[in-house]
Amino acid sequence: MDIPEGDKSLLLADDDAPFRQRLARALESRGFEVTAVGSVSEANDVVRAKPPAYAVLDLRLEDGSGLAVVESLHRKRPEARVIVLTGYGAIATAVAAVKAGALDYLPKPADVEDVIKALTTPPEDKPMPPDNPMSADRVRWEHIQRIYELCGHNVSETARRLNMHRRTLQRILAKRAPR
């Protein structure tokens, strides 16, 4: 079953409010009717009230996993096209997202064009490798920043979790992000 022509309803669930607002504006400017929320409970309320044709869901939301929203959306509207965004990329969670019904799994920060391409590409089309993938240095830097945020900007705790010397971590944090 396909999505009816002209149905551009989209659920955006992300607990990072500035990112959620930027992505919502970008998607609205491209014709989507966006409902943006920050939690699993809010997302499930939207799904129960009026299941959207499209969804862009963060894997980790403030009150649970975006995978729960993927599952509830596919129970209500099996043809919905869902992608999962995450800053915590791992093969196991990518597999879980696809098994739950997501079409694609994109790392944060995701470019709006990549998001739209993932939402609108027919399922039988194989995705092309990205034109400009993040460098290994950038992926490492993003990972360190995410762990640093999770540790409440505590350098010692972040260094312990990353199995890294505290001074080495401080030097990395003092530098600009690599390209």
Give the chain's domains with CATH numbers.
9-120 (3.40.50.2300), 136-174 (1.10.10)
Q: pLDDT-derived band of residue 44, with 50, 70 and 90 as boundaries? A: very high
Angle formed at CA 145 by CA 15 and CA 101, multiple of 5 degrees: 45
pLDDT at 130 over 80: no
Whether a cis peptide bond, with omega within 30° of 0, leads into 109 is yes
Enter the tokens of residue 29: 């400017």
Amino acid at 159: A
- pLDDT for 3 beyond 90: no
Say what the pLDDT of residue 46 is.
92
Averaged pLDDT for residues 102-131: 77
User: Which residue, 26, 39, 35, is CA-closest to 53?
Assistant: 35
Enter the tokens of residue 106.
């994109």
What number is the average pLDDT over the span 19-26? Answer: 89
Element (H, E) at 13: strand 9-13
Q: How far apart are alpha carbons 85 and 64 in whole angstroms?
A: 14
Quote the pLDDT of residue 58. Answer: 87
Mean pLDDT score of the chain:
84
Residues 6+ apart with CB under 8 A from 77: 47, 51, 52, 53
Least confident piece of the model among 46-55, 61-70, 114-123:
114-123
Quick check: 50 pLDDT over 70? Answer: yes
